[in-house]
């Protein structure tokens, strides 16, 4: 069963039809929208500040979402995919974003809508990722604009796929109902 714990009387809150893998960890001031999924060995740690996630957010295997103590919360929009082993820390991710496998998005970053952070990229503290672009490299830089078909063809496809994948798992593994 997933490790879901309150921190200082702040309990994780779950929307409708969320999936949490049996070995995922979710603690503290975390609020998820509908149809979110937190996959195997992923950690969503709202212990030192809050984490807010919109609808259809998937946090893939081994990913970590965290914040900076009393300074930088983490806000994640709708239709966002956080790739395997990525780190999203104290930043804002807008709607329709793909964070690639192993990427790191650091404090005070803003990843605007319809953007892709390439696998392995390191988005340095305070970077603003322009809407409709791909950022790659270490440190991450804009490499190109995203054509509209890539937005619907990749970003939306992956978010929708993870909603489908979650449906494969037994209802006993669904996220618990929100605590009062």
Structural domains present in the chain:
3-171 (2.160.10.10)
Spatial separation of the C-alpha atoms in residues 109 and 111, rounded to whole Å: 6
Residues 135-165: pLDDT tens digits? 999 999 999 999 887 787 888 899 999 999 9
Residues 6+ apart with CB under 8 A from 43: 24, 25, 26, 63, 64, 65, 66
Q: What pLDDT does residue 2 have?
A: 92
From residue 82, how far is each of 7, 122, 170, 179 by CA, in Å? 24, 14, 23, 25
Q: What pLDDT does residue 126 have?
A: 98
Is pLDDT larger for residue 149 or for residue 97? Answer: 97
pLDDT mean over 34-44: 98
Spatial separation of the C-alpha atoms in residues 38 and 60, rounded to whole Å: 6
pLDDT mean over 52-66: 98
Q: Are residues 65 and 43 in contact, defined by beta-carbon separation less than 8 angstroms?
A: yes
Spatial separation of the C-alpha atoms in residues 88 and 75, rounded to whole Å: 10
DSSP 118: P
What are the residue ranges of helices labelled H in the chain?
Answer: 148-150, 157-166
Q: Count of CB atoms within 10 A of residue 7's CB? A: 15
pLDDT mean over 34-52: 98
Q: How confident is the model at residue 170 (pLDDT cuts 50, 70, 90)?
A: low
pLDDT mean over 20-26: 97
Q: Are residues 4 and 28 in contact, defined by beta-carbon separation less than 8 angstroms?
A: no
Q: What is the mean pLDDT of the chain?
A: 94
């Amino acid at each position: 069963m997933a490790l879901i714990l309150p921190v200082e009387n702040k309990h994780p809150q779950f929307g409708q039809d969320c999936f949490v893998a049996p070995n995922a960890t979710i603690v503290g001031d975390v609020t998820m929208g509908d149809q979110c999924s937190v996959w195997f060995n992923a950690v969503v740690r709202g212990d030192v500040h809050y984490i807010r996630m919109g609808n259809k957010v998937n946090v893939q295997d081994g990913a970590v979402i965290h914040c900076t103590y009393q300074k930088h919360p983490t806000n994640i929009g709708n239709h966002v995919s956080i790739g395997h082993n990525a780190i999203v820390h104290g930043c804002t991710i807008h709607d329709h974003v793909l964070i690639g496998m192993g990427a790191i998005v650091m404090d005070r970053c803003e990843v605007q809508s319809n953007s892709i952070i390439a696998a392995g990229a390191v988005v340095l503290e305070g970077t603003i990722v322009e809407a409709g672009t791909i950022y790659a490299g270490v440190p991450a830089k804009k490499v190109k604009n995203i054509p509209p078909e890539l937005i619907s063809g990749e970003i939306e496809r992956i978010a929708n796929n993870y909603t489908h994948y979650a449906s494969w798992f037994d209802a006993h593994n669904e996220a618990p109902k929100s605590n009062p």
